[in-house]
């Protein structure tokens, strides 16, 4: 079997690391494509080094751009690779533009697709990620779901149950296998702090919304560490908010953190404020209360387990929930089923056991 695996952004790197090791253990031939959607050292190369991900066989250098430009460039370049070499399966992870582009390029050339992290839904089609994940799930032949809710979402959408596999959250495998490597980064000077991340365009592109988020965070009685994404830093400057943040004594902007440094920062935070999907799950694993700067989430299990609260983007609401969270203790919720160190093993096992499903059927939607 020959598998093509595609990554493009930080969440992909984290999730693909254990999968590639599992391919190697099972003598499965694979090639790795890095689309270059995240291309700077802090958001790309250092993750490969820390997570021991092999050098990609193909680097596409797609870079930034609008959703259409990014997706189109990636699709064109992956199509060329698929036409040059035969692959039995294309593995994609998550919900970024690179994932959608790879899935579309593959199925149009009749190459089956396996989607890792299938079935997540926010039910908000204004989110680019929601569009990506819905479309990728629709064209995939093997759907590897992280939670029971994700499985039910796919069944409710009419996907054939024989193609859906509950395997757990592969991000957790990466986290658990790297816990012993974490050490305190030099950027963290405080003993107690709140961690803040914000990168979604709907938050960072709106000056009123971004200021509201920062005002809510600044109400913290503890220092707020803000490892700011380069795009967010640029937006702060463009919107005239950088100077205001620097004058706010409670918020300290620091450089983006590597994977291991960020996990240390998250695991030792009293509370995390974030608009990231993955951080919601990582906070659950670290038993750190999470306040999500959104009005919805595809990571429903974090709400169900009491590890996460949707606080929206209004300053007063953020501040109120933050004060309440800081008065509490670290979370005591359980870890969800199959969020362990064997997710990649289950994925590869299903790929090997279900070779009959690695084909593109004429119709895999259940008809009434």
Residue 329 DSSP label: -
- 89 and 112 Cβ atoms separated by less than 8 Å: yes
Instruction: Identify which of 324, 331, 327, 316 has the alpha carbon closest to the alpha carbon of residue 217.
Output: 316
Residue 353 has a CB neighbour count (10 Å cut-off) of 10
H or E element at residue 107: helix 97-108
- Residue whose pair of structure tokens reads 């209004």 in the numeric block: 314
The secondary element (H helix, E strand) that includes residue 142 is strand 142-145
The separation between the first and the last C-alpha atoms of the chain, rounded to the nearest angstrom, is 35
Q: Residue for token digits 């990506």?
A: 132
Closest by CA position to 323, among listed 217, 243, 233, 167: 217
Which residue shows structure tokens 């560490």?
Answer: 225
* Residue tagged 């035969």 (tokens): 86
CA atoms of 361 and 352, how far apart (whole Å): 19
Q: Which of 38, 115, 199, 321 is catalytic?
A: 199
Angle of helix 10-25 versus helix 277-286 axis, rounded to 10: 70
199 is catalytic: yes
Our CA angle for 189, 195, 198, nearest 5°, is 130
User: For residues 105, 281, 264 and 193, what is the CA-based torsion angle, rounded to 10 degrees?
Assistant: 130
Catalytic residues, by residue number, are 199
């Amino acid at each position: 079997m020959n598998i093509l695996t595609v990554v493009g952004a930080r969440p992909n790197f984290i999730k693909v690391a254990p999968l590639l090791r599992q391919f190697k253990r099972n003598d499965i031939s694979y090639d790795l494509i890095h689309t270059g959607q995240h291309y700077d050292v802090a958001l790309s190369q250092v993750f490969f080094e820390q997570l021991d991900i092999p050098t990609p066989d193909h680097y596409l250098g797609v870079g930034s751009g609008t959703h259409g430009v990014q997706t189109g460039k990636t699709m064109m370049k992956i199509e060329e690779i698929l036409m040059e070499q035969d692959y039995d399966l294309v593995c994609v992870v998550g919900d970024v533009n690179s994932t959608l582009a790879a899935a579309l390029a593959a199925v149009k050339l009749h190459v089956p697709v396996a989607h890792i992290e299938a079935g997540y839904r926010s039910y908000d089609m204004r989110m680019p990620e929601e569009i990506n994940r819905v479309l990728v799930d629709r064209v995939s032949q093997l759907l590897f779901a992280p939670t029971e809710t994700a499985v039910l979402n796919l069944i409710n959408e009419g996907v054939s149950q024989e193609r859906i596999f509950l395997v757990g959250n592969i991000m957790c495998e990466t986290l658990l296998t790297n816990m012993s490597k974490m050490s305190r980064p030099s950027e963290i000077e405080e003993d107690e702090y709140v961690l803040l991340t914000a990168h979604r365009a709907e938050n960072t592109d709106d000056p009123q919304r971004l200021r509201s988020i920062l005002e809510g965070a600044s109400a913290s009685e503890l220092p707020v560490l803000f490892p700011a994404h380069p795009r967010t830093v640029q937006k702060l400057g463009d919107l005239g908010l950088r100077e205001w943040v620097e004058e706010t004594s409670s918020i300290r902007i620091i450089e983006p953190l590597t994977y291991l440094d960020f996990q240390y920062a998250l695991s030792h935070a009293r509370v995390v404020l974030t608009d990231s999907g993955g951080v919601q799950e990582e906070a659950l694993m670290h038993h750190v209360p999470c306040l999500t700067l959104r009005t919805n989430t595809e990571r429903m299990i974090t709400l169900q387990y009491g590890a996460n609260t949707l606080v929206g983007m209004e300053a007063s609401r953020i501040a109120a929930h933050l004060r309440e969270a800081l008065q509490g203790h670290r979370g005591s919720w359980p870890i969800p089923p199959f969020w362990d160190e064997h997710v990649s093993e289950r994925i590869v096992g299903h790929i090997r056991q279900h070779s009959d499903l690695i084909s593109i059927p004429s119709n895999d939607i259940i008809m009434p």
